Structure formats: C-alpha cells, structure tokens
Structure 1
Amino acid sequence: MSTNRYAGKGKRFAGRIYRLRVIGLGIGFFCVASVFYLLHASPWLWALLVFHGFVWPHLAYRAALAWQVPYQGERCNLMVDSMFGGLWVVAMRFNLLPCVLILAMLSMDNIAAGGMRLFLRGLVAHLAGFAIGAATLGVTFEMQSQMPTLIACMPFLVLYPLALGWATYRMSQKLALHARESERLSRTDGLTGLWNRRHWEDLLAVEFERCRTDGAPCCLLLLDLDHFKRVNDTEGHAAGDAALRSFAHFLQMTLRPGDIVGRYGGEEFAVILPGLKLVDAHPMVELLLLDLRMRTGNPDRALRCTASAGLTCYRPDMTDFTAWMMETDRCLYAAKAKGRDCVVMAGERGTFMSKPGAQESMARADSRLSL
C-alpha cells in the first residue's frame, strides 16, 4: 500500500479512540489499583499503572498523529494497550473480575477498530504481555475478587460500555448521513445538480405507470441546446459548463415546482410535466423558448444558446416509457431539422405537428393566460 496515498488518513479515528482511551484507562486504573492495594504491589508497578492510566492516552494520541497515516499509528497503539492488558493480568495474579473486564474491553476496542483481524492481533499482544509479566513477576494465582475490588470494578463495568455505545451510535449516525449523501450524489448530475439520466428514467417509469393506472395526463419534454458545440470550440469548455449550469438553473426557475427536470446527456435535457395535457403544455414550452431566446441575446449572460424542443403526451397505446421517450426524441430531431429554436409535438394519435412561429404562439399564450 502506498503511504503517500493515505497520508493524513485516520485523524478523526485517532480522536475517537483517544476519548475512549482517556475514559477507559482512567476508570480501569481504579480496578487494577484496588487489586494492587490488597497485594501491596511494588512502587514500580504503581508508577507503571499511573503512567498507563493517565499519561499514556495523551502520548498515544500525539504518537498516532505523528504517523504519516494516523490510522495505522492508532492500530499500533491498540496493540500496546493489549500488551499492557496482558501484563496487568499477571500483575493482578489473575484476579478474576478485573482481569475479565480489562481483556473484554480491550478486545471490544480491537474488534470495533479492525474487526476479527485486529482482534486476533490483540490476542497475540495479550500473550506478549503475559510473557513479559511472567518473566518479570512470576506467575501466581489469586483469582478470588474481594469486595473493594468488586466495588472498584462497578464504574468500569457500567460507564465504559456506555461511552463505547455512545461513540458507536455517533459513528453510525455519521455513516447514515454519508450514505444518504452518497445516494443523493449517485442520483444527480455533478455539473448541473439536476437528476442524472439513470434516476430521471426511473422517475419517468414511475410516472408512466401512474398514467397507465390512473389515466392522469402527463407530457414529456426534451430540450437540446442549439449550436452548443460552437460555444465549446470558440469560448472553451469552462464557458460551455457555465452555459449548461445556467440553462439548468433557468429551467428550474421557469418550470413549475412539480415538474421533474433531468440532464439526459451532453447538452440535452428532459422534463416530465405531470398533470398537463398537450394543449396546456405547448404554450408553456413556447413561452419558455421565447424567454430563453430573449436572454441569449445579451452577450453578458451565461445563457449562450437557444433550444430545440420535442413535446409529447402520454397515450394508452404506448407500450412502455421507452416508446414514449423515442417518440419525444423524434419530435426533438424534427425541431432541429426545421431550423432549431422551435418546438415540434406529437398529436393525440401520434402524428407529428409543427406549431406556428414564436410571435403567433406568444400571442395565443398571452390570450390564454389573460383568460
């Protein structure tokens, strides 16, 4: 694995483990200390216990951040914790309750941080701690836990699982948020923020079935920017991207809130117009093209192109939504063949009809709106 690629990864992970380590080792100190007090442990063991309980968490955090990949550094720190755990088991002479608690909590940390693989590595580190303890202290068994030890273990038994559960809950919330954001990004076009083609077609399929089931009217609109290649060739792709974003914003501001707009590909956009019949949708599209034509006349605007449009309505004889799309696509190419900057629509029986010019359509639309 290339370390340069993952440089800096894991700082948040190290921060989460740091907080858990401060709580866990701070509370665990009293578990081990209660046994040491009854066993009259040597001063160097007390000093090592104080270091591990209250100094090591801060050193471990700084050491992890000093690694090129903090995530890897923190995994090494967890192995040091596991080794200390094995040492404390021998130092406490295998006192049953605190030994089980410490080994269980350290194993939980390893599983949470790295799954079964890190758990097995932690077992090896426990054994290394056992070996160090056996070599320096010898092996003695006093497994029965006395009342002071039972009382000292209660906070560790209660508080640390709560802290671990809270940290896990917060992590799951963040993962859920990231999952929702990833899902949203997978459905939207990165340049314009509109629905991408795949998700828009899914929405069209749903709308098609709704029309078939309920008999509700619905129109489908395809738009293609005229001479868009000229913008890219003469002004650069940055200007072309700006034009696409501006056109997407123009559609969102001009169309109704319930209309479903998507970027179908390149400079082609698609719109589902629920609840509209062809006679209502056509003047609305004519007004949209006229508005666009007036805006593109200003060289200071990012909108640089007029648009050609194909418009169709749902008919019961359509086999599926792809047939609906194909018919609308044919209308769009008929509009481009007529000279662009116009709308061609399919009539009630599927015959192509080209509507009048912009001025006449504008007059009809104004008279319709005035009514």
Structure 2
Amino acid sequence: MRFVKRIYLLRTIGLGVGFFCVAAAFVQQPVAWPLWALLVFHGYLWPQVARAWALASRIPYRAERRNLVIDAAFGGFWIAAMQGNLVPSAVILSMLSMDNIAAGGLRLFMRGLYASIAACALGWWLLDAHWSPQSDLPTILACLPMMALYPLALGKSTYEMSKKLAERSRQFEVVSQMDGLTHLFNRRYWESLLIEEFSQRRKAPGAQQKESFLLLLDLDHFKRINDTHGHLVGDEVLRNFAQLLRIHLRKEDLIGRYGGEEFVVILRNIAHADALHLSQRLVERARASQDGVNKLYGCTVSAGLVPFTSDMEAHFVWLQRADHAMYCAKANGRDRLVVWEATLVRNAEPATVC
C-alpha cells in the first residue's frame, strides 16, 4: 500500500504536468473533442481511479504494477494521437520508462514498452494518423515543465525511499547482532568480534601497553531456577544478569550471551590488576543480587578469566582456556573467579553441577 501511495503522488504530478505537453501538440495539430475529453480524464481523473483500484485489490502492489503498464499504453496512444510530434513524444516515453524502471526494473520496463508499441499501433490505425514529427516553439515550451519537474519529483521519491531502506537495513543489522532476550551481542556476532580482537593482538602483540582478557561467566544453579520457578522467571534472571553486566562493565568491553546461562566478555585495553578487580567485582555483585528489583533468585556466578597470550594459535584456544578456567571454578565450589594459568587442573566434579 505504501508503494501505491508513492506511485499515486508521482502519477498525479507527472500526468498533471504532462497534460500540457499533449495539449500543446493538440493545439498545433487540432484533434476532435473526444480526444480532449480522454486527455482530461487521463491527466486528472485517472490518478484517482488508479489509486482506488489498486487499494481495493487483494494485492495492491501487483495492481499498481498493472496500472503502470496501463500508463505506458496511454503514452503509446498519445504518440499516435499527436501523429508522432517529436518533442512531446520523446518526453512522454522517457518519463514512462523512468517510472517502470524505478518501479519494476527491466521486466516491467519491457512490459510497458510492449504496451506502448501495441497502443501506438492501435491508435495509429483507429485515428488514421499521419507522420508529422515537427514540434513548434509553443509545444517545446509546454514540454519544459515536464522535463524539469518530473525528474525532480522522481529523484526526491527515490532518495526518500533509499533513506528508509538504509535505516531499515541498519535496524536489521542491529537485530541480527543482538540476543533477543538479553539484548547483548548474540554468539555469532560476538565471536566475530573475538576473532577481530584476536587478530589485532596477534598482528601487534607488543604495540599496546595494556592487555586484552576473555571473561566467561556461568550462572550457578540456573537449572534449579527453571525447574522450581519456571522458564519465565529463568528469563527474568538472564535479563537481570545482563543488566548487571551492562552496569558494572566499561563501555569498551564487548559483552555477549554465549548460550543458555553462559555469558562472555572481551575486556579490551586493560591492565591485569584492573581486569582481575573488575571480574571479581562481577562475581561479588551477583552474589549480592539475591533480592531487590534485579534479583537473581539465588544464582551465583562461576567465572574464568584468561589473558591474551601470543602462544595461542587461534581464537578458539582463548575460548577453550576460558571454558577450562570457568569449569575449574565450578568444580571448586562455584561462586568464584578462576584465572587461567598453564598449571591449572580441573578437578573431578559431581554430575549434577549446573
């Protein structure tokens, strides 16, 4: 329906101004009154009829494309009625072609071209027209507003549509990057950020004084929340924890939901002591968030913190080390932070750990 309304505006402007092109040719080479009546209908009544017809159709978009083909047929008929008067004929054909190309590409343009040729041939036969391409000065002057105004109207419409499409594209891009529940980065997009960070660190490992760290956090006893309180409460816990991360982490940190109750953070350009303090504070804040508006319903956090090191051959090694450190935190009693080191050993853990 938006397409119909956009074409209605262009059709109203184009046919209203185009009326004078054909009318000037009719004055140059006089025609019978029925052609004048048809010209008035096409110039000023047809846009209303076409709009109402399209909006009343089951699929307005298809109906409007049909109307554009009818416009092209009218154009071919007017060429015959003007006996090939060169300047207005060229103006009408070019404007109709622009409409069809803009609305439906080459396919619609060809349909319109065939309709114009057929209508021109029919009109030539019905009116017994004679080839008379000469355009006098008044006819040329009458065509100037059409040549000036209609391309401006079409360009403005195309520009506004391009802006809307660009904005919609940006919205879709944001949606494709976000986790629908927590509004943090989703796993796919966050992992692409991790690959980018890893690549930058590998290219210039000593260029920056500060380091990058990978923090993996898992909500303890989350399965019990779902089993006891239901999944709606579980979703609330995930949202509340995501909000806790947004509040207590820095703007430059990249936060993502890795899956289920697991969250990941890339701490960029941060000193080792600051990364350790920040990560420990998250564990403590989760422990303290048992009551209040953003409570976690008894969930605590097990976390693994891993600095970037040049011996890691790929980004997934960074993730594996964070995962190892986090599960060591779980195996050692949960509700704690474990910093990865080469000698770190994961203890045996009960099968019910969650």
| Structures share fold, TM-score greater than 0.5 | yes
**Residue 297 of structure 1: CA displacement?**
4.1
Residue in structure 2 matched with residue 129 of structure 1 by the alignment = 119
Greater CA drift, 160-169 or 179-188 = 179-188
Residue in structure 2 matched with residue 104 of structure 1 by the alignment = 94
Residue 335 of structure 2 corresponds to residue 345 of structure 1: no
CA contact (8 A) 2:226 2:233 kept: yes
Secondary structure, counterpart of 1:102 in structure 2: helix
What are the ranges of 5 or more consecutive residues in structure 2 without an aligned counterpart? 347-354
Instruction: Give runs of aligned pairs for residues 122-201 of structure 1, distance below 5 A.
Output: 122-201=112-191
What do the CA deviations read for 1:176-207 (whole angstroms, capped 9, x no partner)? Answer: 22222222222222222111222222222232
**Residue 234 of structure 1: CA displacement?**
3.0
CA contact (8 A) 1:309 1:344 kept: yes
Greater CA drift, 259-268 or 214-223 = 214-223
**Residue 280 of structure 1: CA displacement?**
2.8
Residue in structure 1 matched with residue 352 of structure 2 by the alignment = none
What do the CA deviations read for 1:242-267 (whole angstroms, capped 9, x no partner)? Answer: 22222111100111222111111121
Equivalent-residue separation in structure 2 for 1:89 and 1:238 (angstroms): 68
Residue in structure 2 matched with residue 283 of structure 1 by the alignment = 277
CA contact (8 A) 2:54 2:60 kept: yes
Residue in structure 2 matched with residue 361 of structure 1 by the alignment = none
Residue in structure 2 matched with residue 227 of structure 1 by the alignment = 221
Match of 2:323 among 323, 329, 341: 329
Match of 1:92 among 65, 82, 104: 82
Equivalent-residue separation in structure 2 for 1:107 and 1:284 (angstroms): 63
Greater CA drift, 21-30 or 272-281 = 272-281
**Residue 102 of structure 1: CA displacement?**
0.5
Residue in structure 1 matched with residue 240 of structure 2 by the alignment = 246
The list of structure 1 runs, each at least 4 consecutive aligned residues, that deviate by more than 6 angstroms after superposition, is none
Secondary structure, counterpart of 1:275 in structure 2: strand
Equivalent-residue separation in structure 2 for 1:223 and 1:83 (angstroms): 67
CA contact (8 A) 1:224 1:307 kept: yes
Letter of the 1:303 counterpart:
L
**Residue 159 of structure 1: CA displacement?**
1.1
Equivalent-residue separation in structure 2 for 1:13 and 1:306 (angstroms): 53
In the comparison of the two structures, how many residue pairs are matched?
341
Residue 329 of structure 2 corresponds to residue 319 of structure 1: no
Once the two structures are aligned, what percentage of the paired residues are identical? 51
Residue 57 of structure 2 corresponds to residue 67 of structure 1: yes
Q: TM-score, normalised on structure 2?
A: 0.91
What are the ranges of 5 or more consecutive residues in structure 1 without an aligned counterpart? 1-10, 355-371
Instruction: Give runs of aligned pairs for residues 264-275 of structure 1, distance below 5 A.
Output: 264-275=258-269
Question: CA distance change for structure 1 residues 138 and 230 in 2, over 3 Å: closer, same or farther?
Answer: farther
Question: CA distance change for structure 1 residues 210 and 38 in 2, over 3 Å: closer, same or farther?
Answer: closer
Greater CA drift, 34-43 or 205-214 = 205-214
Match of 2:296 among 303, 310, 313: 303
Instruction: Give runs of aligned pairs for residues 208-227 of structure 1, distance below 5 A.
Output: 208-212=198-202, 213=204, 214-215=207-208, 216-227=210-221
Residue 27 of structure 2 corresponds to residue 37 of structure 1: yes
Secondary structure, counterpart of 2:289 in structure 1: helix
Equivalent-residue separation in structure 2 for 1:152 and 1:227 (angstroms): 80
**Residue 18 of structure 1: CA displacement?**
0.8
Secondary structure, counterpart of 2:270 in structure 1: coil
Q: TM-score, normalised on structure 1?
A: 0.87
Equivalent-residue separation in structure 1 for 2:2 and 2:311 (angstroms): 58
Greater CA drift, 127-136 or 15-24 = 127-136
Question: CA distance change for structure 1 residues 155 and 342 in 2, over 3 Å: closer, same or farther?
Answer: same
Equivalent-residue separation in structure 2 for 1:203 and 1:272 (angstroms): 9
Letter of the 1:311 counterpart:
L
**Residue 21 of structure 1: CA displacement?**
0.5
CA contact (8 A) 2:289 2:295 kept: no
